[in-house]
């Protein structure tokens, strides 16, 4: 596959982030089920799933903003698109946190452990997916 035939990195980034987030969310939930109880485990699983959903929708929204998703073709709008999508994600998560702040069934330890570990896992998987996509940041120039 040549540099011009390469597909964009967004599908690999979505897969990488989703798989790692699901695995880490499950592990954190299992640890909390054993150490703290079922309530914390369910809250951790829910938080991990919300983070996964918000970030996955963000990748899909970025793909819609960028068109092909190939950074070599969309570099002029990639950062602006990413900023708009990231801002939307922050607004959505903040609104959800404010709506659920005073609910009695919220286990703060479970939400924090599940949410924070899912965010870190998503970022690691997202970056690993990009690295595996072998997308050139700069197009190699062949001298003649």
Q: Domain ranges for the chain, please list them.
A: 10-133
Range 102-127 average pLDDT: 92
Q: Which residue has the higher pLDDT, 1 or 32?
A: 32
pLDDT of 118: 94
pLDDT of 25: 96
Q: Among 19-28, 58-67, 76-85, which range has the highest average pLDDT?
A: 19-28
Does the reported pTM lie above 0.85? no
pLDDT of 18: 94
DSSP 102: T
pLDDT of 70: 57
């Amino acid at each position: 596959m040549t540099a011009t035939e390469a597909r964009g990195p967004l599908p690999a980034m979505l897969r990488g982030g989703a798989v790692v987030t699901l695995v880490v969310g499950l592990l954190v939930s299992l640890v909390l089920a054993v150490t703290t109880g079922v309530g914390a485990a369910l809250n951790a699983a829910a938080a991990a799933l919300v983070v996964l959903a918000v970030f996955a929708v963000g990748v899909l929204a970025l793909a819609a903003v960028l068109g092909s998703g190939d950074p070599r073709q969309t570099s002029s709008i990639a950062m602006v698109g990413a900023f708009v999508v990231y801002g939307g994600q922050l607004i959505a998560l903040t609104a959800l946190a404010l709506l659920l702040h005073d609910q009695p069934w919220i286990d703060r330890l479970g939400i924090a452990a599940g949410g924070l570990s899912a965010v870190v896992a998503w970022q690691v998987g997202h970056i690993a997916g990009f690295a595996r996509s072998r997308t050139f940041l700069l197009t190699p120039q062949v001298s003649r």
